[in-house]
């Protein structure tokens, strides 16, 4: 690993993440466990849907022609679930209910509100048209047609649709197993007394809940002191066990930053280290065999910014989302901002009523304004100032 000072651009970093992260190997899962996963193959319908001509409402199924338009002899009743395959003669009718199979040659169903029955004769006050109020077999989908294509996200409606076809199992891209590794001697767990020189550790729970909000719950957390051997041992374990490793802190070049050295010893391939951005410059991205690794800055706002911009995209690639891109919109700025330096900048912001406001406390160590934010404004390298009323490129975070 070359822990040098070359900074990739934000666009380069995004492209490198996109091209180096691959979908997980497809897996068969029960349909009920497939919510929000992406199909790894086309689903071919095993049946016609509906599988038979079906009544669309409560009423009467009839067989009419030009000589029989108003009066029909009532000969039977068919309920939903009946397997009565009867046929009708011209001028005959059956009482029928929504979802029931119509007689095989019935050519209309008349809603009961437009009928009356007297002495076994059905009287109709309605216009007759072929297959009125009949759901034809295969009307929704025919047997052997593609029901859902590879790459489709299985939302509740898609799962319901597949269930109507009798499908119980699907091939999907599974969600990754994730390890969060937190480094730092100064960090202590919230709930314990805070000694002088210590701070409460927040990145683990912040990243864990950000992942959970997107449905990623297979997450383990490991905390490591600033010790080389302990860092190396912990990273070796999680790389073997996880699809994705997120490391918080220890990636800079200080005397007690051991993450980079440990990753090198473990034969990790560096894709990039350091991005020309603020906050989040010291971001490492690499691979160790099939495990994707992000080593994040220790500062909480930097870590969370990198999560939203890079890690969310990587996760979507891993679960086979074919067309994911971070949702961005151009919004009118409600206050001005002067940018220092020549790095691209992500600013914590709040969208309200079609406008976006740059919040205070933009320091990479501060989460107080991030707690109010629902967006990140992106300013390009060469932008020096944005004025109230200007349009700005805004990443929506949710």
pLDDT (tens digit, 9 = 90+) per residue, 72-123? 999 999 999 999 899 999 999 999 999 999 999 999 999 999 999 999 999 9
Nearby residues of 315 by Cβ (< 8 Å), 6 or more positions away: 176, 211, 214, 216, 244
- Distance, in Å, from the CA atom of 377 to the CA atom of 359, rounded to the nearest integer, reads 10
Q: Retrieve residue 217's tokens.
A: 């719950």
- Distance, in Å, from the CA atom of 233 to the CA atom of 360, rounded to the nearest integer, reads 40
- Proportion of the chain in helix, strand, coil states, percent, rounded to 5: 20, 35, 45
Q: Retrieve residue 206's tokens.
A: 């912040």
CA 200 and chain centroid, separation: 32
**Nearest alpha carbon to residue 303 among 328, 326, 284, 276:** 284
CA 103 and chain centroid, separation: 44
Phi and psi, residue 202, nearest 5°: -125, -20
- Distance, in Å, from the CA atom of 294 to the CA atom of 242, rounded to the nearest integer, reads 12
Q: Residue 1 pLDDT more than 60? A: no
Q: Residue 176 pLDDT more than 90? A: yes
Q: Where do the domains of the chain lie?
A: 10-24+175-318, 27-48+140-173, 54-133, 328-396
pLDDT grade, residue 286 (50/70/90)?
very high
Strand order in the sheet with 92-96: 108-111, 59-62, 92-96, 71-78, 121-124, 115-118
Q: Retrieve residue 93's tokens.
A: 């009718």
Q: Residue 200 pLDDT more than 70? A: yes
Q: Can you give the pTM of this predicted structure?
A: 0.89
- Distance, in Å, from the CA atom of 311 to the CA atom of 71, rounded to the nearest integer, reads 69
Per-residue pLDDT tens over the stretch 335-382: 999 999 899 999 999 999 999 999 999 999 999 999 999 999 999 999
Q: For domain 27-48+140-173, is the CATH number 3.90.105.10? A: yes
- Distance, in Å, from the CA atom of 285 to the CA atom of 17, rounded to the nearest integer, reads 8
**Nearest alpha carbon to residue 165 among 83, 80, 50, 81:** 50
Query: Is 245 in contact with 239 (CB distance < 8 Å)?
Result: yes
What is the homologous superfamily of the domain 10-24+175-318 according to CATH? Answer: MoaB/Mog-like domain (3.40.980.10)
Q: What is the pLDDT of residue 3?
A: 53
Dihedral sign computed on CA atoms, order 70, 76, 77, 82: negative
Q: Residue 269 pLDDT more than 60? A: yes
Q: What is the pLDDT of residue 374?
A: 97
CA 229 and chain centroid, separation: 38
Top CATH class, 54-133: mainly beta
Phi and psi, residue 315, nearest 5°: -60, -40
Q: What is the pLDDT of residue 16?
A: 97
Query: Is 151 in contact with 38 (CB distance < 8 Å)?
Result: yes
Q: Residue 144 pLDDT more than 80? A: yes
Q: Output the average pLDDT for the chain.
A: 95
Q: Retrieve residue 137's tokens.
A: 């077999």
Q: What is the pLDDT of residue 323?
A: 84
- Distance, in Å, from the CA atom of 218 to the CA atom of 213, rounded to the nearest integer, reads 12
**Nearest alpha carbon to residue 60 among 98, 87, 104:** 98
> What does the buried/exposed string (b/e) look like for 78-87 if buried means 16 or more CB atoms within 10 Å of the residue's CB?
beeeeeeebe
**Nearest alpha carbon to residue 313 among 325, 323, 327:** 325
CATH architecture of 328-396: Beta Barrel (2.40)
Q: What is the pLDDT of residue 6?
A: 81
Q: What is the pLDDT of residue 251?
A: 82
Q: Residue 252 pLDDT more than 80? A: no
């Amino acid at each position: 690993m070359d822990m040098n000072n070359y900074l990739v651009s934000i666009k380069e970093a995004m492209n490198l993440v996109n091209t180096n992260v691959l979908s997980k190997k497809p897996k068969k899962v029960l349909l009920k466990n497939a919510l929000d996963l992406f199909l790894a193959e086309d689903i071919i319908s095993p049946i016609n849907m509906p599988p038979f001509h079906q009544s669309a409402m409560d009423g009467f199924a009839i067989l009419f022609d030009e000589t029989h338009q108003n009066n029909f002899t009532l000969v039977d009743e068919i309920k939903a679930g009946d397997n009565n395959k009867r046929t009708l003669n011209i001028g005959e009718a059956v009482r029928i209910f929504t979802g029931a199979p119509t007689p095989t040659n019935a050519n209309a169903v008349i809603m009961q509100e437009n009928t009356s029955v007297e002495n076994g004769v059905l009287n109709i006050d309605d216009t007759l048209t072929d297959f009125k109020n009949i759901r034809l077999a295969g009307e929704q989908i025919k047997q052997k047609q593609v029901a859902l294509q590879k790459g489709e996200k299985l939302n509740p409606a898609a799962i319901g649709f597949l269930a109507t076809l009798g499908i119980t199992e699907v091939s999907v891209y599974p969600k990754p197993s994730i390890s969060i590794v937190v480094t730092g001697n100064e960090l202590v767990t919230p709930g314990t007394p805070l000694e002088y020189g210590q701070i409460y550790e927040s990145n683990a729970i912040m990243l864990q809940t950000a992942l959970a909000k997107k449905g990623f719950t297979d997450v383990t957390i490991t905390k490591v002191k600033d010790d080389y051997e302990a860092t190396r041992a912990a990273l070796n374990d999680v790389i073997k066990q996880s699809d994705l490793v997120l490391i918080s802190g220890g990636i800079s070049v200080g005397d007690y930053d051991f993450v980079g050295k440990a990753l090198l010893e473990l034969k990790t391939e560096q894709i990039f280290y350091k991005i020309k951005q603020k906050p989040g410059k010291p971001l490492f991205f690499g691979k160790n065999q099939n495990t994707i690794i992000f080593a994040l800055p220790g500062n909480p706002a930097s870590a969370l910014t990198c999560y939203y911009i890079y890690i969310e995209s990587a996760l979507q690639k891993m679960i086979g989302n074919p067309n994911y891109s971070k949702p961005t919109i151009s919004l009118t700025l409600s206050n001005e901002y002067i940018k220092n330096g020549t790095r691209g900048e992500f600013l914590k912001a709040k969208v309200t009523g079609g406008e976006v406001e740059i919040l205070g406390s933009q320091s990479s160590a501060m989460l107080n304004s991030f707690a109010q934010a629902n967006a990140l404004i992106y300013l390009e390298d060469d932008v020096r100032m944005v004025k109230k009323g200007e349009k700005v490129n805004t990443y929506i975070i949710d």
